[in-house]
């Protein structure tokens, strides 16, 4: 249970996978310097142009901090590629840091693939060294995620999300429909009320976060179009000033104001792209994974229900069923407890992350509009003072 306890307490996503580059991941050590010790990593949002390009790694922006630093004061929000492991029985200890960076393309005669550098820094005594560095390819992370979900089916493991960029094909959609119908017919007869509420929350959250993601992307696109158009006006006013001798100073001042507003707009766009969009998109992917976690919990529950039903109607060997039912009851209890513990952690992190992202964005917007307003107010004040001076000079 120690491994499951650690996995249930860990904050967001998986381990560096085993296997050397290009090798089958099952043949290597899952974590450098350990024998399967759980650790966490977070990866930058990347759409891969390779044989695994229907998959996506997410979340974190490497540009937000010095990736070579090693300080317990590093932030643990989703905006960081560096994750600090902090267990409840060690509240003041932050002694394990994982960094994933430097994607590198490899081209061979057979295939093209990407590897990532994984750096582990730790002060834990069970490791052979205080720092490790390996490179792992994308399919290693996929393998790792599968192993983690197999070992801990009801823990929220948000490392990778699978999605087809062109959408699922006909056969895939038919398969999904058949599975959905079969699942609804089989049903879960004794799903606890708390998991019903959890499932309803996930469905509503998925709808809202997907809508927010679409709106955020649209806002960024419109902001980009506005910026591209505005940055053309500065040079236009400079050219205009060359043909208007009486308006040279005014037109140049206007050009200068536009240039300052352009720089402020560009900075705000950068903040939107680095602080808000990755967080929102990460939780879009989280919503898909949460649905998968609920399905796996329901499958364990359904397996127990079917055994109980078989015993009730004596559809199978009555001597063996009680033992199987006892094991399944333990399995369901462990799955439920792990999910409940991980669920509360995830909800708290989600609320903090989204609140922080939108608060930072609101503050950035306020600063942006104040900066632009001050720019034009300064221009108008200087022009007003100039006209007053000219008017006073014209008086007899």
Q: What are φ and ψ of residue 358, in 5° steps? A: -75, -35
**pLDDT tens digits for range 60-76:** 333 333 333 333 333 33
Contact call for residues 321 and 311 (beta carbons, < 8 A): yes
DSSP three-state, residue 53: coil
**pLDDT tens digits for range 297-336:** 999 888 888 888 777 776 656 667 778 888 888 998 999 9
Residue 172 has a pLDDT of 53
Report the run of H or E that residue 57 belongs to, with start and end.
strand 55-57
Q: What CATH number belongs to 93-152?
A: 3.30.1520.10
Higher per-residue confidence, 1 vs 369: 369
Rounded mean pLDDT of 16-36? 38
The answer to whether residue 357 scores a pLDDT higher than 70 is: yes
What's the gap between Cα 271 and its chain centre? Answer: 16
Residue 182 has a pLDDT of 54
Q: Dihedral, CA atoms, 145, 150, 152, 154, nearest 10 degrees?
A: 90
Give the whole-number percent of the chain exceeding pLDDT 90.
37
Q: Where are the domains of the chain?
A: 93-152, 192-381
pTM recorded for the entire structure: 0.64
Q: What CATH number belongs to 192-381?
A: 1.20.1270.60
Rounded mean pLDDT of 165-193? 56
Contact call for residues 86 and 94 (beta carbons, < 8 A): yes
Q: Which of 13-22, 86-95, 359-368 has the lowest mean pLDDT?
A: 13-22
**pLDDT tens digits for range 94-126:** 688 888 889 999 999 998 989 999 999 998 888
DSSP three-state, residue 356: helix
């Amino acid at each position: 249970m120690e491994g499951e306890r650690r996995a249930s307490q860990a904050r967001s996503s998986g381990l560096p996978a085993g296997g050397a580059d290009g090798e089958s991941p099952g043949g290597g050590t899952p974590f450098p310097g350990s024998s399967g010790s759980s650790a966490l990593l977070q990866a930058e949002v990347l759409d891969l142009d390779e044989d695994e390009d229907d998959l996506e790694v997410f979340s974190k922006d490497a540009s937000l901090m010095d990736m070579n630093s090693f300080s317990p004061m590093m932030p643990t929000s989703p905006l960081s590629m560096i994750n600090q492991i902090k267990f409840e029985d060690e509240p003041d200890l932050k002694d394990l840091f994982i960094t994933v960076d430097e994607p590198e393309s490899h081209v061979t005669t057979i295939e093209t693939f990407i590897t990532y550098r994984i750096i582990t820094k730790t002060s834990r005594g069970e490791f052979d060294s205080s720092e490790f560095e390996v490179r792992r390819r994308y399919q290693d992370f996929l393998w790792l995620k599968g192993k983690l979900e197999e070992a801990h089916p009801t823990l929220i493991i948000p490392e990778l999300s699978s999605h087809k960029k062109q959408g699922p094909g006909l056969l895939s959609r038919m398969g999904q429909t058949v599975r959905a119908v079969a699942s609804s017919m089989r049903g879960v007869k004794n799903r606890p009320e708390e998991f019903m509420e959890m499932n309803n929350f996930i469905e509503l959250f998925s709808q809202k976060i997907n809508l927010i993601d679409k709106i955020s992307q649209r806002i960024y696109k419109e902001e980009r179009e506005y910026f591209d158009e505005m940055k053309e006006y500065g040079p236009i006013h400079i050219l205009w000033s060359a043909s208007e001798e009486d308006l040279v100073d005014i037109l140049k001042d206007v050009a200068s104001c536009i240039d300052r507003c352009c720089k402020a707009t560009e900075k705000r766009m950068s903040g939107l792209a680095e602080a808000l969009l990755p967080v929102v998109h990460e939780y879009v992917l989280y919503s898909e994974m949460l649905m998968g976690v609920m399905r796996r919990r329901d499958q364990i529950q359904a397996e127990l229900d079917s055994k109980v039903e078989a015993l009730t109607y004596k559809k199978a060997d009555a001597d063996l069923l009680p033992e199987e039912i006892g094991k399944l009851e333990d399995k369901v209890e462990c799955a439920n407890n792990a999910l409940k513990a991980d669920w509360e952690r995830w909800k708290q992190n989600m609320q903090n992350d989204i609140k922080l992202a939108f608060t930072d964005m609101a503050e950035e917007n306020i600063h942006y509009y104040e900066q632009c307003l001050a720019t034009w107010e300064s221009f108008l004040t200087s022009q007003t003072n100039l006209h007053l001076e000219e008017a006073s000079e014209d008086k007899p």
